[in-house]
Amino acid sequence: MWIKTMATTQNKYCLKSTLAMLAVLLFQVSELKAQDLQFSQFNNSKVLLNPSEIGAIDGKMRLTTNYKNQWGSISAPFRTLAFSFDTRLSKGKNETGFLGIGISVLSDKAGSSQLGSNQMNLSLAYHLKVSERNYLSAGLIGGFVQHSLDYTNLQWNSQYDRGAYNADLPTNELEFSENQMYADLGVGLNWTHTSEDVFSTSTKDFKVNVGLAVFHVNRPNNTFYSFNDNKLPMRMVLHASSQISIVNGDFALVPTVLFVKQASSTNATAGLFLRKPLKGGIGNDESAISIGALYQVGDAFIPYWQLEIFNFTLGVSYDINNSDLSRASSAKGGIEISLSWTAK
């Protein structure tokens, strides 16, 4: 299915319009093939990253909201909103492990077709204290996913007559459902090592975190066509991060990496942040500010800023697109905001 453009000219405006239309089509087709959603601030969206991270918090419970608005420069914006809650059931000084539970809700609207994705998941994780400085965690996530599609705003090849669009012409497309739903399951493992308390947020502590997660392990059928069988490919997520104290603990370097593979699609991201504690009575002893950047290979450069204060963590980033779509998007990817609150 291809969108036919209007009669072309040689000026820049028409070139950009053509690229924009092709870009929109590319992303809509990609969404119809159900490529998974991903936040650039993956370390601030733990539930989507790895279910074994559930409940691994420095407090009693955590509330997190993530919002992303992208591709508004080339089409109707793609908007993603996620909300999650997780808590640990118990953690005493002499315990050898503890349980974490969580719930998450995600809603996404994509492009002119308003391709919608709504998810609700329950998560369970167990965190085993292997030694004084090491934890090994395993987690499960399961829930339901609902997709919807509004094709009234889409334009099809058969609806163009001599270069002019006519909405009264038939689409000549096969009939499909505007809604679909399926159950989804995922699993994850995580290892954490620290020089002090595993939940400490001090910049003086050394930390290493490595995780592996696999989503869609039940291979749900994902299609708008009742006669079609389209098994959703499993998605593998490998992630790692660390905190390295420098300048006598006055600063910390935080490197992080992410690798995602789903069928033939891969995504690699690397980032580095400088974290500094805030002093002088602002907030509490755990307040800190971070600044840095992420790079998604072949896709985007992402400046990032984060503030931790009064048990809140606010993260703000912006995707600067450098892929082949940058000519259509003018390098404008989109803004992303994360906000979490931890009850001590």
Domains: count for the chain: 1
- Answer whether residue 4 is part of any domain: no
- Answer whether residue 1 is part of any domain: no
Nearest to 184 by CA among 136, 232, 225: 232
- Answer whether residue 2 is part of any domain: no
Which domain range does residue 179 map to? 12-343
User: Is the model's pLDDT at 18 over the cut of 60?
Assistant: no
- Answer whether residue 216 is part of any domain: yes
User: Is the model's pLDDT at 86 over the cut of 50?
Assistant: yes
Angle at 98 between CA 97 and CA 104, to 5 degrees: 140
- Answer whether residue 7 is part of any domain: no
User: Which of 29-38, 108-117, 197-206, 314-323 is least confident?
Assistant: 29-38
Between the CA of residue 252 and those of 46, 161, 177, 249, 275, what are the distances in Å?
21, 62, 52, 7, 5
Provide the CATH number for the domain around residue 41.
2.40.160.40
Q: Which of the four pLDDT bands, split at 50, 70 and 90, describes residue 330?
A: low
User: Is the model's pLDDT at 99 over the cut of 60?
Assistant: yes
User: Which of 48-62, 199-213, 302-316 is least confident?
Assistant: 199-213
pLDDT value for 74 = 60
User: Is the model's pLDDT at 7 over the cut of 60?
Assistant: no
Mean pLDDT in residue range 43-47:
87
pLDDT value for 8 = 39
User: Which of 137-141, 277-281, 286-290 is least confident?
Assistant: 277-281
User: Is the model's pLDDT at 30 over the cut of 60?
Assistant: no
Q: What is the C-alpha R_g of the chain?
A: 22
User: Is the model's pLDDT at 118 over the cut of 50?
Assistant: yes
Give yes or no for a contact between 43 and 50, defined as CB atoms under 8 angstroms apart: no
45, exposed or middle or buried, with CB in 10 Å at 0-12, 13-18, 19+? Answer: buried
Question: What is the tens place of the pLDDT at every residue in 201-232?
Answer: 777 789 999 999 999 999 998 776 666 677 88
Q: How far apart are CA 155 and CA 337, in angstroms?
A: 33
- Answer whether residue 262 is part of any domain: yes
- Answer whether residue 267 is part of any domain: yes
- Answer whether residue 70 is part of any domain: yes
User: Is the model's pLDDT at 16 over the cut of 50?
Assistant: no
